[in-house]
Amino acid sequence: MIVNLEKLKQGRNEFQVEYGEKELDLTKVDFTLLGKVRAHLLFFKSRTNVKLSIELTYRLRMTCSRCLEEFERDFNEKSTYYLKQGQEEYREEKHLTDEDIFTLYYAVEEIDVTPLVREMVILSVPMKPLCREDCKGLCPVCGANLNYENCGHTQEKVDPRLLKLKELKDLLGKS
């Protein structure tokens, strides 16, 4: 979606937009967009400065980095951009409170929101997605999914403090 900043009225300008997988160019990524990304765009114009708040809701299917099972999760992402007229078109990133604040300088009077939405979606996906916090992963010996079965190959979980003690015992046992 391309918005002409010159044409926005002073104050609030709101839009509801939906983006599909193809529009956002999310076909060659390692997650799947389920349905559409619903975007709420709020442009707040004050003279020539524009504050753009984007709120997105969407659902993704990802692959767990430990057990390799697919799982789905809902996302709700918010970002704020300050649009200032200028020569350069670059981005300055600042982290304030819990929202990501960006300042975009626009050389032209129009802004394409689609790449911003795409970036927000991509950045929301964890580097190592987990189906759940305590996913047990796959057995390194037989590949069994340890969330569902106990193949008997894995050692019992050892408390790191006990491990130290065990190392010490082994050491003493050797001497």
Q: Which residues of the chain form contacts with Zn ion (CB under 5 A)?
A: 64, 66-67, 131, 135, 139, 141-142, 144, 151, 153
Are 35 and 19 within 8 A, CB to CB? no
Nearer to Zn ion by Cβ, of 65 and 114: the residue is: 65
Indicate the residue among 53 and 154 with the shorter CB distance to Zn ion: 154
86 contacts 105 by C-beta, under 8 angstroms: yes
In angstroms, what CA-CA distances link 87 with 3, 43, 134, 154?
Answer: 19, 21, 49, 60
Distance of closest approach, residue 153 Cβ to Zn ion, in angstroms: 3
The residue among 95 and 128 lying less far from Zn ion, judged by its C-beta, is: 128
Query: What is the H or E stretch that residue 124 is in?
Result: helix 114-124
For the beta sheet containing 49-63, the strands, ordered from the edge strand earlier in sequence to the opposite edge, are 11-19, 32-46, 49-63, 70-85, 99-106, 91-96
For Zn ion, the closer of residues 64 and 121 by Cβ is 64
| Nearest-approach distance from CB 125 to Zn ion, in angstroms | 15
Q: Are 75 and 54 in contact (CB under 8 A)?
A: no
Q: How far is the CB of 33 from Zn ion (least distance, A)?
A: 20
CB of residue 50 to Zn ion, shortest distance in Å: 42
Using DSSP bridges, classify how beta strands 70-85 and 99-106 pair: parallel, antiparallel or unpaired.
parallel
- Least distance between Zn ion and beta carbon 67 (Å): 3
Q: Which is nearer to Zn ion, 88 or 133 (CB)?
A: 133
